[in-house]
Amino acid sequence: MNTHSIEIISRDGAPGYLSIDLGALRQNYRSLCARTAPVPVAAVVKANAYGLDVARVAPVLRDAGCRDFFVAHVGEAHRLRPYVDGARIFVLNGLQPGAEDGCADAGIVPVLNSLEQAQNWMKTATTRRRRLPAVLQVDTGMSRLGLPPEELSALTADGTLRDRLDLLFLMSHLASGDEFENAQNADQLKAMRQASALVPDVPVCFANSGGIFLGPDFHAAMARSGIALYGGAPTDATANPMKPVVRLDVRVIQTRTVPAGARVGYGGTHVTAAETRLATIAAGYADGLPRSLSHTGAVYFDGVRLPIVGRVSMDSMTVDIGALPPGALALGSLVEVIGPHQTLEAIAADAGTIAYEILTSLGDRYHREYR
């Protein structure tokens, strides 16, 4: 997050308010832990804690008892370190050549995704004359990251790996963990068990947020949760059990009444069928409200749906306020973009995307309030 620009956009002049409920974050962490107990839950705080600011989020999770944090990149691990004193930090995307020494110096645990990465980390261990901690990822069917099972057998066949490395976990990732009925989950569980049989003394780390709701078979020795901590729906098996963490309200910057036949927005793609009352609000695609919301999404005021008309602009968009009494909205009024009437999932669905993408795109021009 760019704190400089947040200072420039003072509270009073802010185009919108992004409020982040750290109490709800803490409750979400605790409720996931209760679900997996006695298995611990690690926090996934990659991408600046899904856009919510790792400097604010990580200490709350640490206070709530979290001792294991996952990020995507080594750079994120270095940035996280001061906020999670004493905790373990794991790097999901693995080790880039040349990053080994920095990782070893900072006590960061790489997730090794290939033979090459494992060999480079073993070399570093040899040079330093000590065993280095590592997580080994095996690909159980997502074809994204991790060793194919055959390579895992080859790697673990002799004792060299175990001489050099302290294998903290064997890890894999579910491709469809959020889909309760998806048969891929059982397929991946089976592949994970076969892989685990090759290194039976190494604990398994498997479930993401969705996997936590697939049941204890998926919890293994440690779960890794991201989206559920931040209030996103982890599973399609039930209504979202998590507490909402994010609320977004955006300012009205102009209202107007246009006649029938008026064109609205870039390209003039919306033409009013009748006289229409409109409001322009101060957030657009540069603020993480995708252009794909054009003509289809909505915002809310007093629980009333206000449809987006025309195309979403970079810094603003226009909504139809005809459903509100005249004068209900004026310069400076706030409309709800994410909140009790419009969940993250709902706006994501209107935009043709997922809650993860909405969260990680919310820009740094809003005034942020951490409660």
Catalytically active residues, by annotation: 46, 266
Site map 123..162 versus ligand PLP, x via CB under 6 A: ----------------------------------------
d(CA 210, CA 99): 31
Q: Return the residue of 16, 226, 284, 288 that touches ligand PLP, per CB under 6 A.
A: 226
Residue 219 interacting with ligand PLP (CB under 6 A)? no
The residue type of 242 is M
**Piece in contact with ligand PLP (CB under 6 A), picked from 17-25, 223-231, 301-309, 363-371:** 223-231
Residue 125 CB, shortest distance to ligand PLP, in Å, is 24
How many amino acids of this chain bind ligand PLP (CB under 6 A)? 12
Alpha carbons within 13 angstroms on the beta-carbon side of residue 30 total 10
Q: Which is nearer to ligand PLP, 121 or 169 (CB)?
A: 169
Q: Which is nearer to ligand PLP, 173 or 277 (CB)?
A: 173
Smallest Cα–Cα separation from 184: which of 195, 173, 194?
173
* Backbone torsions φ then ψ of 225, nearest 5 degrees: -120, 135
> What would you report as the CA-atom Rg of the chain, rounded to the nearest whole angstrom?
24
Site map 234..273 versus ligand PLP, x via CB under 6 A: ----------------------------------------
Q: Which residue is nearest to ligand PLP (CB)?
A: 226
Instruction: Map the footprint of ligand PLP across residues 168-187, applying CB under 6 A.
Output: 173
Residue 224 interacting with ligand PLP (CB under 6 A)? yes
Residue 224 CB, shortest distance to ligand PLP, in Å, is 4
138, 153 in Cβ contact below 8 A? no
Please report, in angstroms and rounded to a whole number, the separation of the first and last CA atoms in the chain.
Answer: 18
The 10 Å CB-count burial string (b at 16+, else e) for 128-152 is eeeebbbbbbbbbbeeebbbebeeb
Residue 36 CB, shortest distance to ligand PLP, in Å, is 12
Q: What is the DSSP letter of 81?
A: G
d(CA 56, CA 106): 21
Residue 225 interacting with ligand PLP (CB under 6 A)? yes
For the CA atoms of 99, 170, 180, 142, the dihedral, rounded to the nearest 10 degrees, stands at 50
Interface positions with ligand PLP (CB under 6 A) = 44, 46, 92, 173, 208-210, 224-228
